[in-house]
Amino acid sequence: EFRRVLFRSMHPSELRDFIAKMGLSQADFAKRVGCSRVTVWRWTNGKTKIPNWMEVAINGLRSIKKENI
């Protein structure tokens, strides 16, 4: 049960909403997670599957205050 929750697939709309909530552009978000802007575009538009590690990265970004990112 725990493993399924930890590694569930993130939906593109969840990632789009998170990026918007953080007040970041896709390019800024890409820099913070170490990938290209095109990769983020592909994830947020459902062109490629969002990797499981992205949920872990997002949880790390959530813990940082918005003004510090």
Helix runs in 22-51, H state only: 26-33, 37-44
- Better-scored residue on pLDDT, 60 or 12: 12
Instruction: Please give the average per-residue pLDDT across 55-69, as a whole number.
Output: 71
What pTM did the predictor assign?
0.76
- Rg of the chain, C-alpha, whole Å: 12
Question: Residues 45-68: what's their mean pLDDT?
Answer: 80
pLDDT band per the 50, 70, 90 thresholds, residue 62: confident
- Can you tell me the distance from the alpha carbon of 9 to that of 53, in angstroms, rounded to the nearest whole number? 10
Q: What are phi and psi of 30, to 5 degrees?
A: -60, -45
pLDDT tens string 12-47: 999 999 999 999 999 999 998 899 999 999 999 999
